[in-house]
Structure 1
Amino acid sequence: MTTELRVLGKDDWNVWYANLLRAFGGMRAPAEERDLDESLLDHGRALGAWDGGQCVGTAGAFDFRVTVPGGAAVPAAGVTMVGVAATHRRRGVLTSMMRRQLADVRSWGEPLAVLVASEPAIYGRFGYGVATHRLGVEVDTTRVRLSVPPGTDDVRLRYADPAEVLDACEAVYARRVPERPGMLVRRPGWEQVELLDTDRHRAGGSPLQCVVAERDGDEGLVGYARFRVKPDWGPGGAAGVVRLSALEAVDPAAHAALWRFLLDIDLTSSVVAYRRPVDEPWLHMVSDVRRCGLRVQDDLHVRLVEVGAALGARTYQAPVDLVLEVEDAFCPWNEGRWRLVGDARGASCERTERAADLALSVRELASAYLGGVSLASLGAAGRVRELRPGALAEASVGFCSSTAAPWLPHSF
């Protein structure tokens, strides 16, 4: 390989970003999206691969905090904007960027790296495992009704300008973050991503709309939904589509009120959403789940950059005392035996010479890390080896999330 890796310089941004866009098909990005990308990405956390004066590879890493089981927000590198020029494929460019990036993440003291993969087959060889899934839905609102919980009618809904209520909506989001593993603490500037409303985001639909949920008193907002409506007409009349982009609520009644509203919007016949939790409460309220067009897809991929620090940062649903034999050829500092001791109050994970109870690669450990992928299921697939009878069941119960399925609320 003749390419050179170097940290992105301020004057290199335009060339670097152009290479990224070309790697993803060459479509131009709207100016407001491009400017926001540049403002959110610290140039010192971005790499470029250069062949002479030509940029042929890009990789960035946002400075994130991700919620783990137990509610702690753990530092994580949000790997993003990864692309290699088609002229330089199969030359080791991506591998060299991933190796350098993980070494950098380790030097920054961040025990995790996370990403959303354009193609899920790419990142497993670098130690990333699928840790969360997202639910896509297409609800036939002509046939589906909700049976809502008590108190739903006490929730008052009103339309609001998305920008004017942004701070209040962000406060609702912040309340939700500790409750579900995989959610991202919103860093300064990231709230503006929620307001992007270009032609690409609209895709033929309306400008971004927002409805907020309130109750009488001083409680403030108890929920919100952001969405667009794409009008359409068919032989049977109105067939508009409600495209949901975000919905958060602090309690069951507010959650139900917002979903009931979405399903009842005039001149529409369906509600579509592409990134919802797999354990959505409204799935238990619908009259006909088969007409909700459910589809599950991989979402957040996790990489344990520092095994000890990562496993010690979360809690465990049941007490665990395990020695893990970890394989990690890509980040050899993680190789070897680690003793994990933890429960619902906290944990520690240190190197040990004790005999191992389980053997697995860092990829499987990453998949199980947020509690949404069962170690037992990975064992049944032959991806985890049980070396002490009963250790796999103990680990599987301990690693599971005790509150909610892990979920990534937005891409990056």
Structure 2
Amino acid sequence: MSTDLAARGLPPPPVWEVQALPATQWQDFYTAVLNAFHEGEPGEASSLWRSLAEPGRCLTVRDKGAIVGTAGIFSFQMAVPGRQVVKTAGVSLVSVQPTHRRRGVLSALMRHQLDSLRRQRVPLAVLTASEAPIYGRYGYGVAARQLSLDIHSRRVCLTAPAPDGVTLTIEAPHKALAVCEEFYARQVPHRPGMLGRAPGWEHLPLLDPPSWRKGAYPLECVVARVGGEVAGYARYSVAVDWSHHNTAQGTVRVRDIEASDPRVYAALWRFLLETDLTSRVVAPNRPIDDALLHMVSDVRHCAPTVLDSLYVRVVDVPDALAARAYSAPVDTILEIEDAQAPWNQGRWHLTGDRTGAVCTRTDAAPDLTLDAAALGSAYLGGTTLTELAAAGRVHAHRPDTLAAATAAFTSPVAPWLPHSFCRSLLPRL
């Protein structure tokens, strides 16, 4: 690249120095992030992010003293196939100032961050992308998707289990926070991609500044109990529109919903769909295998749309592949192409089953060849190796090995990220 620039009479790109952020400079760091996204932020949200920040894991690039690039990490435990949770870096607060785009700032930050994660023995990194094309070149692959629903609630009904024994109560979100968070924590291991929340993160789903409501009333919470025990909950807001000839055409905006079993899930959805003065329910983030699609009388009136959500980067191949279980026995040689993380480059012998796995270096002939982004896409089991091969992103050296590896990597439930940890993608319904 430098040779091409010289041939055109242009100077070589600068070599950017990446620096750790001093804790005293958090506000300067965060202001740079807001400026890059062309956003302001209400004090309630800003205070929460300050309390969640890990300044010691934040990086900057400066030009003449001014911050022109940022990248941060939040510490999570993420569920992976096999109901295990694995130490995971949540990459966020990534920005480049408009004056410094396409000058290598982001590449410098991403490489430095990846090297740091390897030294810290963190096997996985994840992020949610504000722009989809950016992160593939750094080895991140789309590993989980989300379902967006826009339901005409007066045109559908539920064909679902009767809510026998389920009681629903409307409770203030903050007062119900502890019991809802305890229930959420029990759900995490059951679905790959869900994040175990460290103390403080439980306040993120309750973030509800008036400037984000778009005419809706404040956030509400309905809690489901069976035999006196919490069995699910839903957080939502309601916006009522009286402009249609004095007839209410309100919208229920679902923030999140969790349930222990089908009858509880059906009871919560029935409550939301039958809310008085409303004719529409929007739920922007549900798993792509959401049971609601099989409970409604007419899925066409739910307008399901699938979007990309969680991107996974395998930082350490042997540790990451050994950290999850496999749906079928696997014994295969993977050849990984990874220019950004040369320690992953080469051939790896993976053996495992539902009880665990081992991954070691080998010189044996490969069964499958794939790059880091394809491995990230397949890691949580929601994107199959077969579909990646059909797209030319996985090369099978023998046809039988592709089918066997696909069966092993697949998860019985779709991976899903219930909430974002990227401040620019918070649910402003």
Give TM class, smaller chain: over 0.9
Partner of 1:85: 97
Alignment of 1:241-390 (within 5 A): 241-390=251-400
Change (3 A) 1:3 1:359: closer
Give the 3-state SS of the residue equivalent to 1:131 in structure 2: strand
Partner of 2:416: 407
Q: Which amino acid aligns with 1:369?
A: Y
Superposed CA RMSD in Å reads 1.0
Matched, 1:171 2:143: no
Determine the C-alpha separation between the residues in 2 that align with 1:111 and 1:91.
29
Following TM superposition, by how much is the alpha carbon of 1:174 offset from its aligned partner in structure 2, in angstroms? Answer: 1.1
Residues 250-286 of structure 1: per-residue CA shift (max 9 Å, x gap)? 1111111000000000000100011101111111110
Matched, 1:103 2:115: yes
Partner of 2:424: none
Determine the C-alpha separation between the residues in 2 that align with 1:238 and 1:154.
32
Matched, 1:57 2:66: no
Give the 3-state SS of the residue equivalent to 1:355 in structure 2: coil
Following TM superposition, by how much is the alpha carbon of 1:388 offset from its aligned partner in structure 2, in angstroms? Answer: 2.2
Following TM superposition, by how much is the alpha carbon of 1:293 offset from its aligned partner in structure 2, in angstroms? Answer: 1.1
Following TM superposition, by how much is the alpha carbon of 1:234 offset from its aligned partner in structure 2, in angstroms? Answer: 4.3
Matched, 1:224 2:237: no
- The question of whether the paired residues in 2 share the 8 Å contact of 1:134 and 1:276 is answered with yes
Q: Structure 1: which 5+ residue stretches go unaligned?
A: none
Match of 2:195 among 178, 181, 184: 184
Q: Which amino acid aligns with 1:28?
A: G
- The question of whether the paired residues in 2 share the 8 Å contact of 1:175 and 1:250 is answered with no
- The question of whether the paired residues in 1 share the 8 Å contact of 2:16 and 2:108 is answered with no
Determine the C-alpha separation between the residues in 1 that align with 2:244 and 2:47.
43
Match of 1:147 among 120, 140, 159: 159
TM-score by length of 1: 0.97
Match of 1:24 among 16, 21, 37: 37
Matched, 1:210 2:221: yes
Change (3 A) 1:106 1:156: same
Residues 67-118 of structure 1: per-residue CA shift (max 9 Å, x gap)? 0000111011000010000001111000000000111111111100000000
Residues 226-245 of structure 1: per-residue CA shift (max 9 Å, x gap)? 00101112436211100000
Determine the C-alpha separation between the residues in 1 that align with 2:332 and 2:15.
45
Change (3 A) 1:171 1:107: same
Partner of 1:7: 20
Aligned length: 407
Q: Which amino acid aligns with 1:20?
A: V
Give the 3-state SS of the residue equivalent to 2:146 in structure 1: strand
Determine the C-alpha separation between the residues in 2 that align with 1:214 and 1:91.
55
Determine the C-alpha separation between the residues in 2 that align with 1:232 and 1:157.
26
Give the 3-state SS of the residue equivalent to 2:216 in structure 1: coil
Determine the C-alpha separation between the residues in 2 that align with 1:200 and 1:278.
30
Partner of 1:160: 171
Q: Which amino acid aligns with 1:21?
A: L
TM-score by length of 2: 0.93
Q: Which amino acid aligns with 1:335?
A: Q
Match of 1:73 among 66, 69, 85: 85
Task: State which drifts further: 141-150 or 366-375.
Answer: 141-150
Determine the C-alpha separation between the residues in 2 that align with 1:16 and 1:171.
33
Task: State which drifts further: 152-161 or 91-100.
Answer: 152-161
Matched, 1:133 2:145: yes
Task: State which drifts further: 290-299 or 32-41.
Answer: 32-41
Determine the C-alpha separation between the residues in 2 that align with 1:179 and 1:200.
35
Determine the C-alpha separation between the residues in 2 that align with 1:94 and 1:330.
13
Determine the C-alpha separation between the residues in 1 that align with 2:140 and 2:381.
15
Task: State which drifts further: 387-396 or 366-375.
Answer: 387-396
Change (3 A) 1:245 1:159: same
- The question of whether the paired residues in 2 share the 8 Å contact of 1:153 and 1:257 is answered with no
Q: Which amino acid aligns with 1:379?
A: A
Residues 304-351 of structure 1: per-residue CA shift (max 9 Å, x gap)? 000110000001101010000000001111000000001011001110
- The question of whether the paired residues in 2 share the 8 Å contact of 1:76 and 1:114 is answered with yes
Determine the C-alpha separation between the residues in 2 that align with 1:104 and 1:250.
39
- The question of whether the paired residues in 2 share the 8 Å contact of 1:132 and 1:298 is answered with yes
Change (3 A) 1:321 1:277: same
Q: Which amino acid aligns with 2:173?
A: P
Identity across matched positions, percent = 52
Determine the C-alpha separation between the residues in 2 that align with 1:143 and 1:261.
15
Following TM superposition, by how much is the alpha carbon of 1:2 offset from its aligned partner in structure 2, in angstroms? Answer: 5.5
Give the 3-state SS of the residue equivalent to 1:248 in structure 2: strand
- The question of whether the paired residues in 2 share the 8 Å contact of 1:158 and 1:212 is answered with yes
Give the 3-state SS of the residue equivalent to 1:390 in structure 2: helix
